[in-house]
């Protein structure tokens, strides 16, 4: 008889030791040994479903199975075609390109027409005046700022500081959309693959700290409502989106001061249903909700060694110095 291979990772947090297993080892468990619903494992989300509902699907919350099958077939055909395509070489002095299709997770989308489920139109709500200002300026550097003056001008995601802060950190992207959940009595920990961010959620009822204390992903407090983990987050550092508002890396316009989040995690077999409500009155005229599933991943999650902005920073700034010497400016 063969024995299952254990992939162990001991993570000491708050005096507790978490042991991470391959997700296949815990898929059949419904509760932990201390009686909490068991959310442990490695989970994967897909960015194939659009964040906002395309106009062609206006008034429709879901697609038919036939429509989903057609989209998946077209995606598979495209992936295969690009896999077999001849390599394309770059030309000296031209663009070196970016990530090719090999890196992209164009997974099977759900039958939802959008990840935004509230407002029911499947679109972000109207912006406030401050939100409109952020939308107009987020793709522009502030007056007097050159994008290559200093490493501090580069985006925090590019510098491998954070994926963009909450709620962006939880939204599926083009790649590296895995999450591993650990549990111990009184605490749940989420390890997000991209930019290797760690979210620690106490369940002991402790009060929130002063709003003068902020973190990129905020400070979370959790509790159970039946089999659903409810996580309430405040104290999100608004600089995660607002520090460099011209960045393209945000899934929404940006975060205002005092934004609060309510997340719900519900395990249904090998699927983790996820929902997050965003209440950001400074930027949006009403709260909005995003929902999408995580599916169990039978394997292990490797380290996300984020280094591009660190290794490439010398070249970026050196290029800026060369343009300055030539009398050109990079805006």
Q: What pLDDT shows up at residue 160?
A: 77
* Close Cβ partners of 38 (under 8 Å, ≥ 6 residues apart): 26, 29, 30, 31, 32, 183, 267
Instruction: Identify the pLDDT of residue 254.
Output: 64
**Residue 218 — left, alpha, or beta (φ > 0 → left; ψ -120 to 50 → alpha)?**
left
Beta-strand runs (E) in 226-323 = 228-234, 260-268, 271-279, 288-296
What pLDDT score does 144 carry?
59
Mean pLDDT of the chain: 80
Reply yes or no on whether the pLDDT at 251 is more than 70: no
pLDDT value at residue 150: 77
CA gap 96, 30 in Å, rounded: 49
Q: Distance between CA 111 and CA 175 in Å, rounded?
A: 20
Q: What is the pLDDT of residue 21?
A: 38
Mean pLDDT for 263-281 is: 95
Residue 120, pLDDT score = 96
Percent of the chain with pLDDT over 70: 77
pLDDT value of position 329? 53
Residue 248 has pLDDT above 60, yes or no: no
Q: What CA–CA distance (Å, rounded) separates 157 from 306?
A: 10
**In sequence order, which residues have a C-beta less than 8 Å from that of residue 247 and are 6 or more positions away?**
138, 139, 155, 157, 241
Q: Which of 237, 224, 188, 230 is nearest to 20 (CA)?
A: 188
Indicate if the pLDDT at residue 141 is higher than 90.
no
For 217-233, what is each residue's pLDDT tens digit?
999 999 999 999 999 99
In the structure, what pLDDT confidence band is assigned to residue 299 with cuts at 50, 70 and 90? confident
The CA distance from 71 to 9, in Å, is: 38
Res. 237: pLDDT tops 90: no
Q: In this predicted model, what pLDDT tens digit does every residue of 256-270 receive, in sequence order?
A: 888 999 999 999 999
At 160-212, the pLDDT tens digits run: 777 778 888 898 878 888 999 999 999 999 999 988 889 999 999 999 999 88
**How far is it, in rounded angstroms, from Cα 255 to Cα 52?**
18
Q: What is the pLDDT of residues 63-94, one digit of tens each?
A: 999 998 888 888 889 888 988 888 777 776 66
Q: Tell me, what's the pLDDT at 62?
A: 93
Residue 324's pLDDT band, with cuts at 50, 70 and 90, is: confident
């Amino acid at each position: 008889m063969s024995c299952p291979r254990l992939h162990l990772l001991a993570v000491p947090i708050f005096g507790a030791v978490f042991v991470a297993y391959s997700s296949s080892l815990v898929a059949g468990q419904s509760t932990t040994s201390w009686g909490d619903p068991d959310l442990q494992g490695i989970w994967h989300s897909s960015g194939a479903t659009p964040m906002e509902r395309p106009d062609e699907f206006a008034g429709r919350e879901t697609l038919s199975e036939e429509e989903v099958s057609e989209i998946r077939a077209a995606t598979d055909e495209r992936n295969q075609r690009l896999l077999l395509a001849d390599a394309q070489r770059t030309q000296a002095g031209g663009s070196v390109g970016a990530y090719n299709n090999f890196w992209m997770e164009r997974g099977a989308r759900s039958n939802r027409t959008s990840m935004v489920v509230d407002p029911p139109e499947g679109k972000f709500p109207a912006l406030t005046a401050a939100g409109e200002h952020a939308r107009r300026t987020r793709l522009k550097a502030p007056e007097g700022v050159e994008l290559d003056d200093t490493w501090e001008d580069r985006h925090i995601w590019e510098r491998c500081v954070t994926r963009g802060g909450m709620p962006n950190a939880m939204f599926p992207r083009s790649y590296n959309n895995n999450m591993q959940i650990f549990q111990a009595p009184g605490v749940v920990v989420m390890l997000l693959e991209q930019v290797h961010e760690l979210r620690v959620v106490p369940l002991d009822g402790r009060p929130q700290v002063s709003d003068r204390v902020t973190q990129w992903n905020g400070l979370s407090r959790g509790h159970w409502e039946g089999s659903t983990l409810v996580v309430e987050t405040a104290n999100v550092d608004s600089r995660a989106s607002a520090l460099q508002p011209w960045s393209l890396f945000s899934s929404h316009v940006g975060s205002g001061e005092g934004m609060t989040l309510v997340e719900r995690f519900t395990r249904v077999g090998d699927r983790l249903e996820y929902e997050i409500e965003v209440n950001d009155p400074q930027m949006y005229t009403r709260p909005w909700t995003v929902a999408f599933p995580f599916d169990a991943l039978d394997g292990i999650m490797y380290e996300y060694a984020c280094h591009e902005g660190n290794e490439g920073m010398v070249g970026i700034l050196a290029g800026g110095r060369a343009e300055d010497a030539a009398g050109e400016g990079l805006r």
